[in-house]
Structures are given as C-alpha cells and as structure tokens.
C-alpha cells in the first residue's frame, strides 16, 4: 500500500491574511525545530537522523522536482532552521553573544575577555564537531545509498 503525503493548499484572499498565514507557518516551524532539538538532547530521537550539506542538497533536489513552490517552501524552512540554530545559547553563535550581553546587563560590567575567548573556542569546537559529524553521516549514507 502506498501512502501519499497529506497536502493542504490554502489560498488567502488578501495580502494581510497571507502574511498572517506565513507568520503562523513560520512560528509552527520554529516550535517544531525546538521540539526536535529537545527530542535529540533527551535521546528520544537518534542523532544519526541529522543531515548535513549533502542531505540538504538531496532534499532540495527532491523538492525542486516537485515544483518551484515546493522548493521555495523548503528553502524557507531551511532558513528558519538556520535562524533557530544560530540563536541557540552556544558561544560564537548569536545566541551565545546574547547570553554575554544579558550577563553584562545583569552584572553591570563586561564579561572577562579571557572567559569570552575560552567560551568562544569551546563553542567553535562544538560547531566544528557538529559539522564533522553531519558530514560523516552524509558520506556514510551516500556510501550505503541511503541518502
């Protein structure tokens, strides 16, 4: 038995209604991404399910084959995903910088530069490790033709 994905097409009659729908879909995507991250951190979802640049390219190609609209929606979701990841409180990312700014506001003084530098190195190590991990997963999937 083949199951087709459920597709809902909504056409709004005004620009304001379309903007509202876009914001609603964006918010739903943000919540979904945070829930997925939470599930990964708690071990409910295996980390081997992550994908890197090769997986993104394959999925983008699949969406492009479905039509320009599908590709644009995928690229919008990818953009929201990157924005959410960028705002995580990891030093070296924007979210990490926000944490330092909040600490400065609370304490009334700048965070020690040595501490900031060390935190940024740790954040850089985490980001590079994540990049290496997802690239390894992509190459492994490509080797097993499971992309």
What are the boundaries of each domain within the chain? Answer: 48-143
Tell me the pLDDT of the chain averaged across its residues.
89
The predicted model gives 7-29 an average pLDDT of 86
Of 142 and 5, which is predicted with more confidence? 142
Greater confidence, 10 or 37?
37
The pLDDT-based confidence of 117 (bands split at 50, 70, 90) is: very high
Calpha distance 117→94 (Å, rounded): 15
∠ CA 137-138-144, nearest 5°, is 90
Q: Within 10 A of 131 (CB to CB), how many other CB atoms are there?
A: 12
């Amino acid at each position: 038995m083949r199951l087709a994905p459920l597709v809902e097409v909504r056409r709004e009659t005004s620009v304001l209604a379309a903007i509202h729908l876009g914001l609603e879909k964006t918010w739903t995507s943000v919540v979904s991404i945070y829930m997925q991250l939470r599930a990964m951190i708690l071990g409910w979802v295996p980390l081997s399910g992550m994908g890197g640049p090769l997986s993104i390219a394959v999925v983008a190609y699949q969406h492009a084959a479905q039509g320009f609209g599908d590709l644009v929606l995928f690229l919008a979701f990818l953009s929201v995903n990157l924005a959410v990841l960028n705002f995580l409180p990891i030093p070296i990312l924007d979210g990490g910088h926000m944490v330092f700014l909040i600490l400065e506001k609370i304490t009334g003084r700048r965070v020690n530069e040595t501490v900031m530098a060390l935190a940024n190195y740790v954040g850089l190590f985490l980001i590079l490790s994540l990049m290496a991990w997802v690239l390894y997963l992509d190459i492994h999937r490509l080797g097993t033709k499971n992309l």
